[in-house]
Structure 1
Amino acid sequence: MPVQDSDDQYLRVAMMVLLSLALLAGVCATAIHWLGPVHRPMDRVLPPVASALFAGLICALWLRPAWVGVITRIALCLSALALIAPAWLYTVQASLSPELRLIDTLPPISSLFAVFMAMLIIFVPGRRAYVAAAVGWVLVASPVLVYLLTHRAELWTPRGVDLAMAFGPASLMLVVLLPVQRGLAGKIRRLASERDGIEVQLHRDPLTGVHSRLFGERVLRDVLARGGTAGLVMLDLDRFKAINDTYGHPAGDGVLRAVAASCERLLRPSECIARWGGEEFLVILPDVNAAALHGIAERLRVAIAAVSVVPVAQVTASLGTAVLHPADTLDTALQRVDRALYRAKELGGDRVCTSERSEDDQLQSLGACAP
């Protein structure tokens, strides 16, 4: 049973937030341009179209979370087009029509340009972020800056100074901060890698490679919290102390590794086997009834009996099973499966015993122990 990784979830949440903010900005821009006194065709068409596209991307990300990479690239391209189109159109119009001033016609895209540059820095990997930021600056900021530098009367107005600062020093500052952001991202990745290594050590038994008792308890609590049908198998190797005394602890360790590997091969990814202590293992099986639980336990017993570790002649195990009940807690579930295991050991080992009869599954043989 794999451990859930939160990195992809974080990326999806971040993109969902940014798309929602972009949608909100588009809706506000649509309302402002439609309710304003001056109606220009692009101002009335571009914001609602962009809003519809961003809403579609939000729906796509919600329905297909695995598409987050493709959706991110599409969102960046749409944002770029929404900034490039008005920057060039109104700059060209103001250059060709002396009666028009850019500071009067250009929509308020300077703040959105800063957000767009930040998105490039965050979402574009490696050196491509530098290229993307440079291309974005050339396509959006440079036409406005060139126009203002050639029209000094507009440059020294309050709006002109604001545009020059936003598209000049402010945007260049974002590019300068790119190496700092990359260094922080690299440090975060290293910390995440170290965290993953610590989690592996906590969740895996170092000798056998199966899950640790700590992880097994966590999985069992999750299964109990979800409810539904589930079962436990507790197995203990028969006469394991004699193996250690006769052949030595290295041989005993080899037996534990071989048994753990043999049992793990029989389980599905949704099922969990944990080393519970010494020569004892706990198997947690979600979505099984009593009959299926007993069958899995029998297959585990047969697989263990087939394990061959030189110089040990024969390896057998006693197994106890228990179907989880809605009223079960961690302690009660473990107590019942442990009692079934103890009964299997008392009857000579190499057998499966169940904690109680399951009337729902109508498996008459589960009331006794199967050799």
Structure 2
Amino acid sequence: MPKREQRQAQKEQRPNKFWNFVPGTEEDPAQLILYGTIASAESWWEDRVTPKQFNQELDALGDVEEIVVRINSGGGDVLAANAIYTRLRDHKATITVKIDGWAASAATIIAMAGDKIQIAKNGIFMIHDPSMTIWNTYTAEQFEKMAEQLKTVKQSIVNAYTQRTGRDEEEVSALMSEETWWTGEEAVEEGFCDELLFEEAETIIENGSMLIVNSVPIDITGFKTIPRNVFENKSTTKNRGKKKVQNKAEDKKGVQMSEIKTVQDLEKQYPGLVTEIRNEAAEAERTRIKDIKNLEIAGFEDIVENAMFEKPITAAETAMKIINKQKQVGANYMAEREEDVKESGVKNVQHGSGEEETKNKFDAIIDEMKF
């Protein structure tokens, strides 16, 4: 066999496979396992072996009533995801999607094919705009054409989201542009998933660039925003650098994570963090007191003293209190002055007759004048 044909045969024997079909049994339905990156080096539309192999394995499941699609993926090839989404939507079996760890980017497109979408309580669900990797040199016109292609791809994704969730296109488009991250609970609340799984995902971040979710490594360097709060403070989700910390398991200092209930516990576990928080709080308090002290003027010492120590408020709030007090003092002064004028009786004093006498003298002179 010529070497070219041998290479082609080898390629067909080793397709760019990123899935695994598990035939059903009497007890369990058939499964499609999608763990890790969807597609890889070769694009779905260029690699004719990959979609052909996928379709053959899907058809080989036979006349099944249900297919469980288990997802734990950070995404990958949008074209591959769209093709899988279409095949699953077109299949007569009930499609149950279970997000075991997380579904991000292109993986969420496949998730939308589910008649029911379940996600781990502390799983991750992320949607964002599609992007394109550039490996060559291009003209401005070519870049403009690629930009239009990305807009078309985005619209296809928006269509999948809106069809499944019933949400407005503009709203979904905005969420994608913002690169939106949700926990499992939030994904259910937002309508992108239907219900929570009883399983809980175990998440570890290594070196800030690799995320390991239920033992599946996922490169996160390509994402714009990684909100750490999505991974922190969850019952079984840990973020401890390279070290893996199990829920209710002891770390190297012998302190259980579930035992951090007081400031003292936190300081023992993270002394540097507590010191930093205290220093920042002390500096903020010194600045607050200094700013309020600069507002002190005669007659309003009680307001300043109260704002600094007894009922602490900001300098801006203190200034407003002083201004309001000044306005009240001014109003009281004007009221007291008016009362003093009334009590003096000065308004009741009558004018003398000098004006009338002066007028009569002028009249007499005019009468005596001869014309």
Whose helix fraction is larger, Structure 1's or Structure 2's?
1
User: Smaller-chain TM-score range?
Assistant: under 0.3
Taking structure 2 as the reference length, the TM-score comes to 0.21
Larger radius of gyration: 2
Structure number with greater CO (CA < 8 Å, separation at least 6) is 1
* Higher-strand-fraction structure: 2
